[in-house]
Structure 1
Amino acid sequence: MKQLGSVLALGLVLAVGGCGRTADSTPDAAGAAAAPAGPTATPATPADPPAAAAATGTARLDGYGPVSLDSSLDQVRAAWKEPLQGEVPDDYCHSLRPQGAQAEDVVFMIEGRRLVRYDVHNDRIVAPGGGKVGMSLGELQTLYPDRGDVTPHKYDEKGHNLRVRPASEGGALINFEIDGNGTVTDWRVGLPPQVDYVEGCL
């Protein structure tokens, strides 16, 4: 009987010990299995930012995308590569738009057969310095604290413009149009005097 008790006691110790090892190894196994899931799931998150980053880098003080301010009409067409909508029959002010997906993103102003300005009317494109459609005047003034001048809006008594002066002589300006509710409705980057044409190309 004493021998049988010892055998049963030993069996119980082994069984408990076995359970202990199984319980300890399960979290490790689960942790090891779960660990790859974190890194695998993470790359999926940065899938959207590249598009936003591309949009952010599109607008510059010296141009837009592949085109540069003060380029000739031929240089603009060659740099853009795809067809632009609009005709430029003379040296007066004319507008050109991209075709396809970017048709609503930007309007190029051509005068004297040179690119003198571009206009943006949506919140997909970020202006140089961080401003965009939908922001408030206060947000803009935070982004452009030193060079932003508030001027009256020509057609909206309660509206304003924030005209951001160039950092260096002869550089391009940014003009944000702000409605009576204090919200940016559109903005433009261009060379003077064309950047101040309120009506654009008539």
Structure 2
Amino acid sequence: MREDRPIDEHEIGAPMPTLQEQARALGDPTRHQIFRYLVDADDGADVAELTAHLGLNHNAIRQHLAKLVTARLVVESTAAPTGRGRPRLRYTVDPAADGRWGPMGPYERLAVLLTELARTGETPVEVGRRAGLRLRRGATPTDDPTGAFVEEMARQGFDPTARHRGDRVAVTLQTCPFTSAVLTDPDTICDIHLGLAQGVAEAVGGMVVEELVPKDPRNAQCRLRCRLTTEA
């Protein structure tokens, strides 16, 4: 159950490393191989699996993974115990990095949405909303709607942070994945963004996106004004 505290503020997320910093981490051929392997893996991989795949010493694999984790390209977590001994560490692609470096780039995703917009004649908000709903299809229910929402928007390349004030949530989009397109047609692209956020929030449940306050895409920092609902 949500507890309303009018002056309580909580920030979720931290600034992403720059594209240049992440590109340097991926510039090493072995680290790039590890990252692409994890992109294709449904449930991540551990050091033993990566060692077998690449044929390298496990200490070398660990060192490469540490650099990928530091660059926020990869997330390290503890796997569920399966018997005696220390639980294994498992590595998956960071959701925010997936939006930047995943198999389908941001402009490929935008091209799909614009094609749907032209084909259906629907509004950009509706096309974006339906895409947001699709992103969460099959996801398990959550008791942390803000966290789930931030994670999905990060996966789409927006690098979001969230701040609570009672039942109000301000989500700042620190990165715009479609900077050039917004400069060309801000009304259409920003409406797609708004619809996408509304669809994700609807699929997550317990949260409503009420408004998008756009900023200059070259500096990003657009803000989504959201509200937690009684189901949260």
Q: Which has the higher helix share?
A: 2
**Bigger Rg, structure 1 or 2:** 1
Same fold (TM > 0.5): no
Of Structure 1 and Structure 2, which has the larger fraction of its residues in strand?
1
Q: TM-score, structure 2 length as denominator?
A: 0.27
Q: Which has the higher contact order (CA 8 A, sep 6+)?
A: 2
Q: State the TM-score, normalizing by the size of structure 1.
A: 0.30
